[in-house]
């Protein structure tokens, strides 16, 4: 996920068959039997059912697979406004014009809104910092806490997979003990005297060996044991021969279930599930990264909206103050007190709206800080982020079929759903095995040796001087009624059915999100044109009123001034509606790429999965070392020159 390494992926072609897409996903997720026990006819039927469920979602989209071109065809001629008036409107009655005016009146180096934002929460002049969209997304990809939390999951799952595999590792064991004992025993009378006899022994035992659980369900164990004994008697005891004696004992034990617990698939089930959990954690990490990148971009566009709204509200207040003063000046002529009070009330209301706009901009800035989690720009900082990029209103081309196909192919939620089905199927196979009765065989072979030295004892064992020890055994066990096994199998089957339904639900949710985003794109694309025409028309109405006011005495009547106030409100509302439509259009594009799972490609984010073995103690799983956003020359303080 290093933003410094850009990897661009080609979008999926519309001609790609959905069956081939899902088959590839099944193989990658384990459902295709690539590494799990699902290469059976029943599983192929399951795959076909899942494919049919997805094909049903794209059935109507296949009827018109050709892309649809969207673009704003702004035709200002229908407004019947002169060309020079349109140029004046863009200079004096648009957000871009307001920004140019603010920039011209701002001290060199200050942000255009430096005179509008006021003091921070500590009562100090607000410091501003400009931020581009690319900076915001890259910083969030590197530092977002939700992503960092999710980034530990693959490494943790990797260790759990190792633990599951470790049950088949060889186990070494060893033990030793030594005993020296003097045991008194009743003696026998001899020549009129009696003595207490003593049985004196020294014994020592040691053993070492290796054992392993087999993937077939059995166990194998090889043990080498040695024994030393020295026996002495204090009264006519008969000592054994040889004495001291050394014995060797080499034992091979094998146990193997033949029914319940038999088979590689059964015994590797936990490994398969752990491997799926690792893949699922990687998919969840990708989903978190997509979510963080998308939410950061949406927060940036919200910041753009609040930035423009502040400028619009400030301009509205400036115009309102001028008209209010004109109405006050007409008190000596025709302005009644009610009319003056109404003009004052309107201005005060606009001041309130400006205060709210300031707060909304600060809140949007803090929201962006929260998502980025930049070390040099913490949420507690009173630095105010201002956007350096404007909204994009370029035309786009889309195909519903392509969008759905990309969503089903790229969304990590689909991979998670597939892995869930795979897990449920593995557990069903395991539960099916546990329905069987237990039938275990046991085999043991021993090579024995005994002599007065360990070397001779091993020689005896190898030459089979003594009769070797062999053992064969079998054990059968079957619960009467087998209710536990049957109930477990029924539960596993129901869980599997549930996982398939959940997979279908995931596909439906993705299609729903894609259609929501596309509908929002189409709607806001049309709204951009309508809101722009409305803003230009309202601008022309206000411009005409101002011209009439300057050219005729009737323009300064209270009624005409009140009409000007009304036109100012209408223009501000139209300007905000235009900005909102543009921002919502860009947010809808973000939602579309998020729904299709192509956010990372669009943002040029390279997805790299952290490896548990690559993390040094104390190292972060997402240590990108991105250059801090805040630099001394980047800070802009209100009033600084």
Give the pLDDT band of residue 381 (cuts 50, 70, 90): very high
Instruction: Say whether both 156 and 174 belong to one domain.
Output: no
What is the arrangement of strands in the sheet containing 635-637, beginning at the earlier edge strand? 384-387, 127-131, 635-637
Q: Residue 261: CB partners within 8 Å, gap ≥ 6?
A: 217, 267, 433, 438, 440
**Quick check: 589 and 523 in contact, CB under 8 A?**
no
pLDDT at 454: 67
Average pLDDT, the chain: 83
- C-alpha 84: how far from its chain's center? 53
Q: Long-range contacts for 147-150 (Cβ within 8 Å, ≥24 apart)?
A: 147/1, 147/285, 147/288, 147/289, 147/292, 147/622, 148/620, 148/621, 148/622, 149/288, 150/281, 150/284, 150/285, 150/287, 150/288, 150/289
Angstrom distance (rounded) from CA 518 to CA 525: 10
Instruction: Say whether both 545 and 596 belong to one domain.
Output: yes
Least confident of 256-265, 307-316, 486-495, 544-553: 544-553
Give the pLDDT band of residue 232 (cuts 50, 70, 90): confident
Instruction: Say whether both 179 and 142 belong to one domain.
Output: no
Q: What is the average per-residue pLDDT within 79-98?
A: 89
pLDDT at 174: 95
pLDDT at 463: 62
Q: Has residue 304 been placed in a domain?
A: yes
pLDDT at 42: 58
Q: Is the pLDDT of residue 624 over 50?
A: no
Q: Is the pLDDT of residue 619 over 60?
A: no
Angstrom distance (rounded) from CA 499 to CA 496: 5
**What is Dmax (Cα atoms) for the chain?**
159
Q: Has residue 124 been placed in a domain?
A: yes
Give the pLDDT band of residue 184 (cuts 50, 70, 90): confident
Instruction: Say whether both 461 and 583 belong to one domain.
Output: no
Domain closes at, from 422, 456, 477:
477
Question: Which carries the bigger pLDDT value, residue 180 or residue 628?
Answer: 180
Q: What is the average per-residue pLDDT within 100-124?
A: 83
Angstrom distance (rounded) from CA 107 to CA 605: 38
Instruction: Say whether both 154 and 205 belong to one domain.
Output: no
Q: Is the pLDDT of residue 17 over 80?
A: no
Q: Which tens digit of pLDDT belongs to each residue from 159-178? A: 999 999 999 999 999 999 98
Q: Has residue 25 been placed in a domain?
A: no
Instruction: Say whether both 619 and 545 belong to one domain.
Output: yes
pLDDT at 13: 38
Q: Has residue 201 been placed in a domain?
A: yes
Q: What angle do CA 435, 441, 444 make, to 5 degrees?
A: 155
Give the pLDDT band of residue 149 (cuts 50, 70, 90): very high
Q: Residue 149: CB partners within 8 Å, gap ≥ 6?
A: 288
Q: Is the pLDDT of residue 340 over 70?
A: yes
Q: Does residue 506 have a cis bond before it (omega within 30 degrees)?
A: no
Highest mean pLDDT (candidates 104-108, 372-376, 626-630, 631-635): 372-376
Boundaries of domain holding 471: 170-213+218-260+438-477
Least confident of 2-16, 98-112, 121-135, 295-309: 2-16
Pairing of strands 469-477, 438-451: antiparallel
Give the pLDDT band of residue 626 (cuts 50, 70, 90): very low
Angle at which helix 83-92 crosses helix 95-105, to 10 degrees, equals 50
pLDDT at 199: 74
Pairing of strands 245-257, 219-233: antiparallel
Angstrom distance (rounded) from CA 537 to CA 80: 10
Angstrom distance (rounded) from CA 572 to CA 320: 11
Q: Which single residue is written with the structure tokens 């100090």?
A: 124
Q: Residue 252: CB partners within 8 Å, gap ≥ 6?
A: 220, 221, 222, 223, 444, 445, 446
pLDDT at 230: 81
Angstrom distance (rounded) from CA 34 to CA 51: 18
Torsion 153-154-155-156 (CA) sign:
positive
Give the pLDDT band of residue 610 (cuts 50, 70, 90): low
Give the pLDDT band of residue 548 (cuts 50, 70, 90): confident
pLDDT at 2: 37
Q: Is the pLDDT of residue 11 over 50?
A: no
DSSP string, 459-488: HHHHTT-S--EEEEEEEEE--SS-HHHHHH
Q: What is the average per-residue pLDDT within 365-389?
A: 94
The number of helices, as runs of H, and strands, as runs of E, in the chain is: 15, 13
Question: Which carries the bigger pLDDT value, residue 466 or residue 530?
Answer: 530
Give the pLDDT band of residue 6 (cuts 50, 70, 90): very low
Q: Is the pLDDT of residue 141 over 50?
A: yes
pLDDT at 613: 55
pLDDT at 225: 87
Angstrom distance (rounded) from CA 529 to CA 389: 21
pLDDT at 187: 61
Instruction: Say whether both 472 and 539 belong to one domain.
Output: no
Joined together, the tokens standing for residue 413 give 């939620």
Number of domains in the chain: 2
Give the pLDDT band of residue 80 (cuts 50, 70, 90): confident
Least confident of 201-210, 325-334, 448-457: 448-457
Q: Has residue 487 been placed in a domain?
A: no
Instruction: Say whether both 125 and 197 belong to one domain.
Output: no
Q: Is the pLDDT of residue 330 over 70?
A: yes
Q: Which residues pair with 129 in a beta bridge?
A: 385, 635
Least confident of 70-74, 159-163, 174-178, 601-605: 70-74
Threshold 0.75, pTM exceeds: yes
CATH number, domain at 341? 1.20.1600
pLDDT at 77: 81
Q: Is the pLDDT of residue 393 over 70?
A: yes
Q: Has residue 517 been placed in a domain?
A: no
Give the pLDDT band of residue 40 (cuts 50, 70, 90): very low
Instruction: Say whether both 78 and 186 belong to one domain.
Output: no
Pairing of strands 396-398, 197-213: unpaired
pLDDT at 238: 62
Instruction: Say whether both 156 and 280 belong to one domain.
Output: yes
pLDDT at 622: 46
Instruction: Say whether both 125 and 186 belong to one domain.
Output: no
Give the pLDDT band of residue 637 (cuts 50, 70, 90): very low
Give the pLDDT band of residue 356 (cuts 50, 70, 90): very high
Q: Has residue 39 been placed in a domain?
A: no
Angstrom distance (rounded) from CA 612 to CA 155: 4
Q: Is the pLDDT of residue 476 over 80?
A: yes
Q: Does residue 244 have a cis bond before it (omega within 30 degrees)?
A: yes
Q: Has residue 23 been placed in a domain?
A: no
Instruction: Say whether both 280 and 405 belong to one domain.
Output: yes
Q: What is the average per-residue pLDDT within 578-582?
A: 95
């Amino acid at each position: 996920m290093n933003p410094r390494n850009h990897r661009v992926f080609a979008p999926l072609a519309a001609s790609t068959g959905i069956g081939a897409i899902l088959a590839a996903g099944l193989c990658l997720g384990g459902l295709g039997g690539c590494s799990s026990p699902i290469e059976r006819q029943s599983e192929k039927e399951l795959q076909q059912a899942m494919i049919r469920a997805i094909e049903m979602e794209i059935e109507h989209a296949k009827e018109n697979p050709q892309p649809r071109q969207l673009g704003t065809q702004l035709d200002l001629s229908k407004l019947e406004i002169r060309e020079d008036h349109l140029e004046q409107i863009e200079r004096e009655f648009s957000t871009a014009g307001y920004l140019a005016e603010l920039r011209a009146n701002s001290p060199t180096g200050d942000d255009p809104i430096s005179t509008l934002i006021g003091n921070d929460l500590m009562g100090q002049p607000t410091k501003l910092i400009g931020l581009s969209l690319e900076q915001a997304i890259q910083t969030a990809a590197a530092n977002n806490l939700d992503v960092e939390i999710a980034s530990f999951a693959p490494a943790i799952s990797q260790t759990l997979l190792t633990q599951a595999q470790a049950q088949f590792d060889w186990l070494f064991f060893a033990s030793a003990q030594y005993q020296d004992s003097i045991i008194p025993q009743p003696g026998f009378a001899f020549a009129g005297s009696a003595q207490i006899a003593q049985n004196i022994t020294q014994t020592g035992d040691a053993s070492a060996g290796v054992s392993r659980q087999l993937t077939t369900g059995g166990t194998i164990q090889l043990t080498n044991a040695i024994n030393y004994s020295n026996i002495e008697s204090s009264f006519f005891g008969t000592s054994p021969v040889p004495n001291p004696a050394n014995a060797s004992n080499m034992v091979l034990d094998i146990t193997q279930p033949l029914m319940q617990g038999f088979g590689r698939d059964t015994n590797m089930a936990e490994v398969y599930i752990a491997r799926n959990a690792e893949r699922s954690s990687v998919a969840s990490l990708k989903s978190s990264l997509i979510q963080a990148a998308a939410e950061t971009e949406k927060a940036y566009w919200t910041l753009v909206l609040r930035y423009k709204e502040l400028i619009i509200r400030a301009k509205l207040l400036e115009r309102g103050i001028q008209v209010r003063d004109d109405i006050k000046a007409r008190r000596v002529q025709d302005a009644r007190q009610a009319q003056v009070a109404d003009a004052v009330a309107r201005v005060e209301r606009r001041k309130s709206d400006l205060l709210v706009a300031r707060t909304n901009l600060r809140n949007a800035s803090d929201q962006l800080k929260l998502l980025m989690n930049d070390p040099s720009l913490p949420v507690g900082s009173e630095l105010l982020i201002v956007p350096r990029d404007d909204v994009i209103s370029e035309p786009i081309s889309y195909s519903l079929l392509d969008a759905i196909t990309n969503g089903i192919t790229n969304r990590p939620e689909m991979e998670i759903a597939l892995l869930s089905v795979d897990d449920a199927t593995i557990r069903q196979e395991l539960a099916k095995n546990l329905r069987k009765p237990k039938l275990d065989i046991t085999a043991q072979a021993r090579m024995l040796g005994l002599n007065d030295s360990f070397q001779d004892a091993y020689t005896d064992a190898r030459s089979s001087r003594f009769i070797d020890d062999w053992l064969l055994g079998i054990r059968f066990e079957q619960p009467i009624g087998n209710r536990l096994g049957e109930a477990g199998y029924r539960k596993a089957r129901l869980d599997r059915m549930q996982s398939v339904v959940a997979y279908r639900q995931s596909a439906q949710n993705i299609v729903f999100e894609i259609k929501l985003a596309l509908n929002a794109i189409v709607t806001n694309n049309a709204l951009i044109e309508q809101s722009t025409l409305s803003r230009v028309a309202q601008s022309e109405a206000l411009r005409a009123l101002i011209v009439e006011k300057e050219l005729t005495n009737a323009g300064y009547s209270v009624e005409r001034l009140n009409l000007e106030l009304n036109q100012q409100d209408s223009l501000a509302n139209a300007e905000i509606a235009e900005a909102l439509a543009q921002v919502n259009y860009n947010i809808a594009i973000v939602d579309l790429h998020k729904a299709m799972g192509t956010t990372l490609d669009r943002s040029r984010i390279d997805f790299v999965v952290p490896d548990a073995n690559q993390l040094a103690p104390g190292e972060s799983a997402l240590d990108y070392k991105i250059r801090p956003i805040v630099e001394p020359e980047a800070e802009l303080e209100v009033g600084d020159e």
